[in-house]
Structures are given as structure tokens and as C-alpha cells.
């Protein structure tokens, strides 16, 4: 009789433990890895990244692991290694690498261009014909856009120096070793450069590349950075994430003080809070689903098909 009671008790214990393990497994929250280049793309995620500091925060049952990398090469490595679930990438780089590995699909666009020509010596577009030029973003959409502006203004140059990232062009702008040099610099680090040089009683003169591009193309949209989702990521999560991302971008544009404070707390490698707050309007953050960007993407593709891998696959869109 004792043996029967013992066996019965053991069986109940095993069933209880099994049930607990199953329940724990069912309620376990998985993690989604999101990576973005430092700068405006990282800023677009700031509310999500801040909310993710709360252990209870999740999107459709998934915890968020967000980090930044420097420059297009860092993003290219992420796509090649397939180590992240969602990647914010220069639009042409994302399309190009989709053509190579068919892994990440274009789900949304988040920036309409945030690049500016800048120099500590006043200049016009005509000066781009003769003065030293130091740009960033070679083999990215930035290069295609600035080349279109140069072409429209009858400027031919084969001696442009290209650096890896806008942080590099900003560093040289601030160093101001050659005041005649015209740099290509993106927000928000452009505003940081303006502040740094203002302390030296120097002025930074700028030309808005986005405006010049619209003139050169009769109003074409500049799709600069997009959201690329890895094949196999839960669709309910993606839908919820894209809504959260749109809300995050609205938050940044409507509450620049709070957004810049969040970015400082998160140590995203962005300029200091006071500087970033001033820079936000020039970042041109704007959320649109990829399905609404097809015509603009086709137009950008036609500027330089090689930058996009020679084609836009019909299966690219998420």
C-alpha cells in the first residue's frame, strides 16, 4: 500500500513539474535584435529603445535588443552576417544586399534625407566646381543624390574625397584645417559642429541637399534610410513594431526636448541633449510603409542602378 501511495505521489510531482516547465516555456518572452546606424536612423528608434529599458516592456510578446553601429560598412556586415532581426540601412544598401541574399525585405522608410553641404567659408553651388570636396557615403544613396545635384548644376568632379561616415566629415569640418573645403555632413552631427565652431567665433555655412535634389528632379522624394526585416520574423511582431516605430518618430518630431534627453540617457553616440534638440527638425524623420514608396524608389534606382545591385526585385517589399 505504501509503495502505491509513493508511486502515486511521485507521478503527481512529475506531472506538476512538467506542467510548470511547459507553462514557463509558453510564457517565455523571446528577443528581437534591432540595429541602426548612429545618427538620424538611431534617433528614429529612441522611444522604443527607451521604453525597452523597462523589463516589462515588450512588443507583441517580444523583448527588444537595440544597438547602433557606425557607418554603412557596419550595417553591411550586419546584413551579411544575418545576425539581427531588423536592420535600419541606407536604402540602396538594403536593396543591393536583398538582391544578393534575399534575407531582408524592405518594410518601411524612415528618413527623407538629412545631408547638407557645409563649410566655414561662405559658398554657393558654383564653388563646388573648384573648392576641395570631402563627402561621406560612397556607394550609397547619398552619393547618387549628391551626384544628381552636381550634374544638374553642370559640376563635374573626379577628385572628391570620400570618408566612411558623417562623423568623420564632421570631425574634419570642426578641425577647420582648410576653410575652403566643402564637406557633406548629416544631421544631427552637423548641429554639433556648428556649436563647436561657434565657440571659436566661426560660422558654418550650409546648403540643404534635399532642397537642391528636389529642384534637380522636379520634386522627387529622397528615400535615405529604410527598415529591413529578416525573413521568418513573426508577422504580428513586425506589424506591431512598425506601428511603434511610427509612434516613436512622431514622438521625436513633436517632443524634441524629451527625445533628445532619451537619446542622451541611452548613450546612442548622438550629440549632447541641447545640441540634438536643435538638430531634430533637420533630420527629416518621416515614416512611410515601403509599399507607399515604390515610385520614389524606382526613380532613385534610375539615378544609378549599379548602386542598387542592378535591379529591384518584385519580392523586395515586405
**Element spanning 294, H or E:** helix 294-303
Share the mean pLDDT of the chain.
89
Distance between CA atoms of residues 145 and 48, nearest Å: 30
Check if CATH label 3.40.190.10 holds for domain 115-216. yes
**Element spanning 296, H or E:** helix 294-303
DSSP state, residue 316 = -
Q: What percent of the chain has pLDDT over 90?
A: 73
Q: Where are the domains of the chain?
A: 29-112+222-308, 115-216
Distance between CA atoms of residues 194 and 120, nearest Å: 9
Max mean pLDDT range (23-37, 166-180, 292-306): 166-180
Distance between CA atoms of residues 211 and 240, nearest Å: 33
Residue 308 is predicted with a pLDDT of: 92
Convert the pLDDT of each residue in 111-158 to its tens digit. 999 999 999 999 999 999 999 999 998 888 889 999 999 999 999 999
Q: What is the number of other CB atoms lying within 10 angstroms of the CB of residue 240?
A: 16
User: What would be the CATH architecture of the domain defined by 29-112+222-308?
Assistant: 3-Layer(aba) Sandwich (3.40)
Distance between CA atoms of residues 181 and 160, nearest Å: 11
Residue 190 is predicted with a pLDDT of: 96
Across 291-306, average pLDDT: 92
Beta-bridge partner residues of 184: 117
Convert the pLDDT of each residue in 213-264 to its tens digit. 999 998 888 999 999 999 999 999 999 999 999 999 999 999 999 999 999 9
User: Would you say the CATH fold of 115-216 matches that of 29-112+222-308?
Assistant: yes
Where are the strands (E) in 104-260, listed by range? Answer: 104-111, 115-119, 133-136, 161-163, 182-186, 205-208, 225-230
Q: Residue 12 pLDDT > 80, yes or no? A: no
Q: Residue 5 pLDDT > 60, yes or no? A: no
Convert the pLDDT of each residue in 45-62 to its tens digit. 999 999 999 999 999 999
Across 171-196, average pLDDT: 96
3-state helix, strand, coil in the chain (%, to 5): 50, 20, 30
Strands 285-289 and 115-119: unpaired
In DSSP notation, 158-194 reads S--EEESSHHHHHHHHHHTS-TT-EEEEETTHHHHHH
Convert the pLDDT of each residue in 65-94 to its tens digit. 999 988 777 888 888 889 999 999 989 899
Amino acid at each position: 500500500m505504501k509503495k502505491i501511495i509513493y508511486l502515486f505521489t511521485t507521478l503527481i510531482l512529475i506531472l506538476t513539474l512538467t506542467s510548470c516547465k511547459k507553462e514557463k516555456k509558453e510564457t517565455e518572452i523571446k528577443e528581437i535584435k534591432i540595429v541602426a546606424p548612429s545618427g538620424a536612423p538611431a534617433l528614429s528608434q529612441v522611444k522604443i529603445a527607451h521604453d525597452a529599458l523597462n523589463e516589462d516592456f515588450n512588443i507583441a510578446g517580444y523583448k527588444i535588443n537595440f544597438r547602433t553601429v557606425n557607418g554603412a560598412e557596419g550595417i553591411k556586415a550586419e546584413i551579411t552576417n544575418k545576425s539581427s532581426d531588423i536592420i535600419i540601412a541606407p536604402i540602396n544598401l538594403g536593396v543591393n544586399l536583398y538582391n544578393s541574399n534575399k534575407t531582408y525585405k524592405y518594410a518601411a522608410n524612415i528618413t527623407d534625407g538629412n545631408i547638407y553641404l557645409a563649410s566655414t567659408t561662405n559658398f554657393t553651388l558654383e564653388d563646388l566646381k573648384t573648392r576641395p570636396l570631402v563627402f561621406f557615403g560612397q556607394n550609397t544613396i547619398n552619393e547618387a543624390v549628391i551626384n544628381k545635384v552636381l550634374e544638374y548644376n553642370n559640376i563635374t568632379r573626379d577628385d572628391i574625397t570620400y570618408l566612411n561616415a558623417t562623423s568623420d566629415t564632421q570631425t574634419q569640418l570642426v578641425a577647420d584645417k582648410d576653410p575652403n573645403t566643402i564637406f557633406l555632413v548629416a544631421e544631427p552631427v552637423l548641429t554639433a559642429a556648428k556649436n563647436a565652431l561657434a565657440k571659436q567665433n566661426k560660422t558654418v555655412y550650409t546648403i540643404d541637399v534635399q532642397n537642391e535634389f528636389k529642384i534637380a528632379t522636379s520634386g522627387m522624394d529622397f528615400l535615405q534610410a529604410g527598415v529591413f526585416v529578416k525573413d521568418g520574423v513573426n508577422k504580428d511582431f513586425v506589424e506591431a513594431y512598425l506601428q511603434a516605430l511610427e509612434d516613436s518618430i512622431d514622438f521625436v518630431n513633436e517632443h524634441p526636448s524629451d527625445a533628445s534627453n532619451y537619446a542622451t540617457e541611452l548613450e546612442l553616440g548622438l550629440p549632447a541633449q541641447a545640441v540634438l534638440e536643435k538638430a531634430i527638425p533637420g533630420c527629416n524623420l518621416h515614416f512611410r510603409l515601403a509599399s507607399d514608396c515604390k515610385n520614389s524608389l524606382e526613380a532613385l534606382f534610375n539615378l544609378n542602378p549599379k548602386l542598387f545591385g542592378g535591379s529591384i526585385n518584385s519580392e523586395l517589399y515586405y
